Structure formats: structure tokens, C-alpha cells
Amino acid sequence: MTSFTALLLCVPALFAADTAKPMPKNVAPIPAGVFTLQSSPDLPSGIEQATEGVPFLARGLAEKRLVDLNPAYRKVVLSQDASTVTIQFDGRQPVRVPLKGGMAWTREDGETFWVSAVASPSKIVQTYKAKDGERTNEFTLSPNGQSLVLKVSVRSPKLSKVLNYSMVYAAAK
């Protein structure tokens, strides 16, 4: 067996070993736990501002799509392991996103997105990219771990402005 062939045989084992490793002790965990909605935004006002410059005939459709795709989720569940972040809203299908790179993900209605995530000790930034725009969810844990702020930004070339709003969640007891 050549060294090259031996190397090829070892590569799958190296990947398997890497994914089985527990999270290193020197890496602080990301915000994790179950959080319930405490305050939600004035979303109708934000949607009205984001669609101000949209042509009249398309404005109603844009507003309806933004309302449908931006509900005030009542519960958020966050967790992580060594290589992924998992985010679940209101008991819907959880989204497990690798911390390096991203992945294709299909929502319940069949729309496909490229989803990526970056995590630090007190923050997770999750981004969904689709052909018609992008949504960024920024989850920030309070210093005492008792509340979580979700800042959402929705961008699309079809909107006249970026839709920005925030929701505050309390750690479930």
C-alpha cells in the first residue's frame, strides 16, 4: 500500500474522530437553553416603513410576505455541540447549522435557503440567504443569562429599506 492510499484510508477516520470530540473546555458556550417571549416589536410599523418605496401594486404582496415570514415566535430553543448550533422556534423543525461554512435548508413551505451561523460566548448570528433576500437573526444573551434579545434584519432588493426589529425573551424556569 502506498503512502497516498494509506492517507486516503485515514481521512474518513479523522473526520469521524473530529465530530465525536466534546466541546473543548477552554471554549465558552454560546447562549443555550429555552427562552420564552417577553416583548415583541411593532412589526406592522416596521413593515410599512420597509415597503414605503415599493410600487403600489407590489406593496400589498411584499407586506403580506413579510408578515407571514416574521412571526413573533413564542419560544426559542438554542443549543450547540462542538461543530453545530441548533435553533428551534415554537416547536418547528430545528435548524442545525455547522459553525464553519453553512448548509442548504428547506423550510416547511418548500423554500430553500443557504443557512450559516457564527457563535461566540454571548452571541449567535444566524443568516438565511434566498434568491430574493436575506434574513439575519442575532441572538444576544444578557450577562446574567436570564434574557435573550433577538435582533432581526431582513434585506431584499425588492424592499426600499431594511426591516429591523427586536424581540426580548426570558430564560424558561
73-115 tens-digit pLDDT: 999 999 988 889 999 999 899 999 999 889 999 998 899 999 9
pLDDT for 30: 66
Note the pLDDT tens digit of each residue in 110-159.
Answer: 999 999 999 888 899 999 999 989 999 999 999 888 999 999 999 999 99
Cβ atoms of 24 and 12 within 8 Å: the answer is: no
Calculate the CA dihedral of residues 31, 35, 38, 41 and round it to 10 degrees: 60
Q: Residue 85 corresponds to which amino acid?
A: V
pTM for this entry: 0.79
Given this structure, which CATH class describes domain 30-171?
A: mainly beta
Can you tell me the mean pLDDT for 13-32? Answer: 44
Distance, CA of 91 to CA of 77 (rounded, Å):
9
Cβ atoms of 149 and 40 within 8 Å: the answer is: no
CB atoms within 10 A of CB 97: 24
Can you tell me the mean pLDDT for 4-33? Answer: 43
Distance, CA of 102 to CA of 157 (rounded, Å):
23
